[in-house]
C-alpha cells in the first residue's frame, strides 16, 4: 500500500504543471520524503519480526535437542537397570547434568515468586 502511495507521488509530480512555486516543490519533496520514511520504517519492522521469529525457532530447536538428550539418557539408564538390575551412577550423573541443562535453558517453565501454583 505504501509503495503505491510512493509511485502515485512520483507520477503526480511529473504530470503536474511545469511552472510550480518553490513552496509546491518543497511540499512535494517533503511528502516524498515522508512516504520513503514510512516505507523504510515498515520494512525494518518486518525485518525485525522475521529475525525475532527465527531466533525463537532457534531457541525452540535447542530446547528440544536438550530434552531429547535427557530422554535418551533416561531410557538408557532404565534399560540398563531392567536388564542388569544395576544402577549405573555414571549414566545417572549424565541424566542429572542433562536435566540441569534443560532447567537453565530459556524454555524451562518457572514458577512466579508470589504464588507457587502459577507457572509463567
pLDDT in tens, 13-55: 555 545 677 777 777 877 888 887 887 877 887 888 889 899 9
Residue 48 is assigned to a structural domain of this protein: yes
Q: What pLDDT is stored for residue 1 in this prediction? A: 58
Which DSSP string do the residues of 1-60 spell out, in sequence order?
A: -HHHHHHHHHHHHHHS-S---HHHHHHHHHHHHHHHHHHHHHHHHHHHHHHHHHHHHHHH
Domain count, the chain: 1
pLDDT band at residue 12 using 50, 70 and 90 as cut-offs: low
Is 113 part of any domain?
no
- Domain assignment present for 43: yes
In terms of pLDDT, which residue wins out, 85 or 46?
85
In a domain, 116, yes or no: no
Amino acid at each position: 500500500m505504501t509503495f503505491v502511495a510512493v509511485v502515485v507521488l512520483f507520477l503526480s509530480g511529473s504530470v503536474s504543471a511545469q511552472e510550480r512555486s518553490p513552496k509546491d516543490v518543497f511540499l512535494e519533496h517533503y511528502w516524498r520524503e515522508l512516504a520513503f520514511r514510512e516505507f523504510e520504517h515498515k520494512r525494518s519492522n518486518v525485518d525485525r519480526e522475521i529475525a525475532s521469529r527465527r531466533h525463537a525457532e532457534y531457541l525452540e530447536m535447542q530446547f528440544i535437542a536438550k530434552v531429547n538428550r535427557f530422554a535418551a539418557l533416561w531410557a538408557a539408564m532404565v534399560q540398563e537397570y531392567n536388564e542388569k538390575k544395576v544402577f549405573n551412577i555414571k549414566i545417572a550423573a549424565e541424566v542429572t547434568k542433562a536435566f540441569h541443562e534443560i532447567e537453565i535453558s530459556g524454555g524451562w517453565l518457572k514458577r512466579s515468586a508470589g504464588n507457587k501454583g502459577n507457572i509463567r
